[in-house]
Structure 1
Amino acid sequence: MLAALLAATSPSTVVQVRTPAIKRRLHPTLARVGVHDDCFLAGTDDYGTFTGDDATWLASSPILVGGETCDVSARSAWPNARAEMARYHWTYLNPSFDTDVLTSWGSGGLAEAGRRLGYRIRLVKAVLPTTVKAGAKVTATITLVNDGYAAPAQNRPVRLVVGSKIVSVPADLRTWVPGRQVTLEATFTAVQGAYSLSLPDPAAGLAGRPEYAIQLANPRVWNAAKGWNSLGRSLTVK
């Protein structure tokens, strides 16, 4: 069944299996095969999800992980739930089940989980020239950090927008693991206008839709009409 799903879907589509053991047996190195934990935090081993050294292996494997809780246990309270979602780099969680587990986390825990599941990219600083001569070369440096539980599961374009100019920035978002600061650098011929950072969806049919672009976690930077993040500076060309 897994072979049929992989053959019938795009190479960029992630397919998940129920346990790390299945993943390790069938496709241990294929990044697009992830793990769906159907009983997160239940019992001592997520009700059969983990055997042997599966837990240690999963913690060090940069694959897509998600699923749902299913039973209250000694491990299901919020402090441990938060630690395990971070350890196993969770991207999504069923918000409707198990309600006893989820409500035990309280409003604060649920809010934090909602913020940190998957990636949460935050602007740390941006070094952006503001005044240059016409025809000059300009270098912009942008530092970001991922405050979420996981790196993005798919790569996507990174673009610095300056006025009417769009500058492609080389980067692989799949390497933006939690807690790691990433520095982007772009050099271009000066053009007048405001600086913005654009992280559109990689699919051609969705790239132009703002709601599919990544919104930085910083307040008051998001341009919902264009799907860009303002960097708070403008470049003046003299």
Structure 2
Amino acid sequence: MSLSRRVRFGLIAAATVVVLLVVALVVVLTLPRPLASVDVATTTADLTNPERGWTDAVDLTQPDSITSAQRDGVTIVHTYVRLDAYRDSAIPADFLATLDRGFSALRSAHMKVVLRFAYNFDGAGPDAPLARIEEHVAQVKPVLAENQDVVLAFEAGFIGAWGEWHDSTNGLATAAGKAAVLKAVLKAFPSSRDVALRYPYDIRALVPKQVTAGTAYGGSAAARIGNHQDCFLSSDPDDRGTWGQNGGTVEGDKALVASLGRYTIVGGEICGTSPRTTCPTALSELNRLHFTYLNRQFDASALALLQQGGCSREIGQRLGYRLAVTRVEWTQEADHEGTFRLELTVRNTGFAHVVNARPVYAVLSRGGTSVPVRLRTDVRTWAAGATTTVSEDVRLPASVAPGRWALSLWAPDAAADLRDIPEYAIRFAQADGWDARTGRNALPATVTVD
């Protein structure tokens, strides 16, 4: 072989080696970085969290009652807005202003409310004609829109005794009357909030196409209809007219509410004792029906039975959601303005889901700097009794400079004026990591940015 040919072959071989090295380097650089993983210890402690739990009764027009509930440590309250004095007139401006101040007091107390309008607090008391109800609904619309941030949910109200949709003195406890009131309420009340109906048979009649996984959270009327039970566990088998009425069956009605409760609000109170007022029945049905709230003041005798049965604490812990991150997997290194992989295993041992929309952020912190990066996940889909895996490639903003950053999880309120109030953020059921000053949940993970 001539010298020139040997040189040529040598150059080709060298070039081939270079190409192979470059290819190998590209492969190495493009391989996904390995995931670190750590299991997270959880806690069985009682946790205070927003938009779930036991409720106290308050009067929004009497701020002292809100202060009393705050001292009791609850985060949600129930109120009847009494319109008895205005059955024959418009609601005066000073009453609407008083109502607005009540919402402000809730905000200052870091609470939210389940709200029902009623014209009486008497099993035989009068309500108002449909035209008057429609007028009042229109009047309260701007007040509710302005204060929807501190509303957990609405109960449909207005009709009949206690606004409970029976015994109307104006003939509204009919399919047509109820349909008209519900239409007005759904149109006027903020679409971000659910509206709970008292009776399963009304839900069947007025909302023939109930919410499903495919229609949940879409803002339609069906996607906003929940259920409030005012005589839970209070008679056997129908809970004083809740179940199995107007052609329904006890089991069929419970199956309906159980289905709704996967996506909308369910709650209520106990109005008396019965053979059903036992811990096994209470825990089973609260779980099946997906209760988010329950009155802790009424009925005292029934609540005493649950206390004696040893389940009151568990009920308090599991009403609504109870979320715990049980495992974290993540890439420990990331390029500046690049991405890192974050996988969270989240267990919800509560009776229900998170009812209202709220963002979830991965927060990177170093020194005095914290940078929240919003995740795509919808916390409302973290179903009760289930484990959810959140898997995301988190894009780092330019403000995350090179260095080592600690990770935390932050689920604040969706409302801008409540976002930075830690009492409105979700506390996860971790053994360690809750920061009461910021409302963040520290994760045992760090990311080094190159």
**TM-score, normalised via structure 1 length:** 0.92
**Which position in structure 2 is the counterpart of 1:55?**
254
**Which position in structure 2 is the counterpart of 1:150?**
352
The structure 1 residue matched to 2:430, chosen from 214, 218, 222, is 218
Structure 1 residue 113 and structure 2 residue 315: aligned? yes
The structure 2 residue matched to 1:11, chosen from 165, 185, 191, is 191
* 1:133 shift after superposition: 5.9
Q: Which moved more, 1:98-107 or 1:129-138?
A: 129-138
* 1:221 shift after superposition: 1.9
Matched position secondary structure for 1:149: coil
1:46/1:167 CA distance change after superposition, 3 Å: same
Partner amino acid for 1:146?
N
**What CA distance in whole angstroms lies between the structure 1 residues aligned with 2:447 and 2:412?**
23
Structure 1 residue 40 and structure 2 residue 232: aligned? yes
Structure 1 residue 65 and structure 2 residue 266: aligned? yes
* 1:135 shift after superposition: 5.9
The structure 1 residue matched to 2:443, chosen from 203, 228, 231, is 231
Contact 2:375–2:394, Cα closer than 8 Å, also in 1: no
Contact 1:169–1:185, Cα closer than 8 Å, also in 2: no
Contact 2:227–2:266, Cα closer than 8 Å, also in 1: yes
Cα distance per residue 1:92-122 (max 9 Å; x no partner): 0000011111111126411111100001111
**Which position in structure 1 is the counterpart of 2:279?**
78
Partner amino acid for 1:128?
W
Matched position secondary structure for 1:31: helix
1:236/1:84 CA distance change after superposition, 3 Å: same
1:3/1:149 CA distance change after superposition, 3 Å: same
Partner amino acid for 2:255?
T
Structure 1 residue 198 and structure 2 residue 402: aligned? no
Q: Which moved more, 1:168-177 or 1:223-232?
A: 168-177
The structure whose Rg is larger is: 2
Partner amino acid for 1:55?
K
Matched position secondary structure for 2:311: helix
Contact 2:323–2:347, Cα closer than 8 Å, also in 1: yes
Q: Unaligned stretches of 5+ in structure 2?
A: 1-180, 211-221
Matched position secondary structure for 2:345: strand
Contact 1:141–1:184, Cα closer than 8 Å, also in 2: yes
After TM superposition, the structure 1 = structure 2 runs for residues 17-32 of structure 1, keeping only pairs within 5 Å, are 17-28=197-208, 29=210, 30-32=222-224
**Which position in structure 2 is the counterpart of 1:183?**
389
Greater share of residues in helix = 2
The structure 2 residue matched to 1:98, chosen from 284, 292, 299, is 299
**What CA distance in whole angstroms lies between the structure 2 residues aligned with 1:49 and 1:219?**
40
Q: Unaligned stretches of 5+ in structure 1?
A: none
**What CA distance in whole angstroms lies between the structure 2 residues aligned with 1:7 and 1:158?**
29
* 1:57 shift after superposition: 1.5
Partner amino acid for 1:231?
L
**TM-score, normalised via structure 2 length:** 0.50
**What CA distance in whole angstroms lies between the structure 1 residues aligned with 2:335 and 2:240?**
65
1:134/1:93 CA distance change after superposition, 3 Å: same
**What CA distance in whole angstroms lies between the structure 2 residues aligned with 1:175 and 1:46?**
30
**What CA distance in whole angstroms lies between the structure 1 residues aligned with 2:395 and 2:257?**
45
Partner amino acid for 1:187?
D
Matched position secondary structure for 2:346: strand
**What CA distance in whole angstroms lies between the structure 2 residues aligned with 1:4 and 1:91?**
25
**Which position in structure 2 is the counterpart of 1:172?**
378
Contact 1:167–1:186, Cα closer than 8 Å, also in 2: no
Cα distance per residue 1:203-222 (max 9 Å; x no partner): 22212221111110122221
**What CA distance in whole angstroms lies between the structure 1 residues aligned with 2:286 and 2:395?**
44
Matched position secondary structure for 2:331: coil
Cα distance per residue 1:132-185 (max 9 Å; x no partner): 565653211111011000011112111111123322211222222112111112
Contact 1:161–1:195, Cα closer than 8 Å, also in 2: yes
Aligned alpha-carbon RMSD (Å)? 1.8
Structure 1 residue 139 and structure 2 residue 341: aligned? yes
Partner amino acid for 2:324?
R
Identical columns (%): 39
* 1:189 shift after superposition: 5.2
**What CA distance in whole angstroms lies between the structure 1 residues aligned with 2:352 and 2:433?**
22
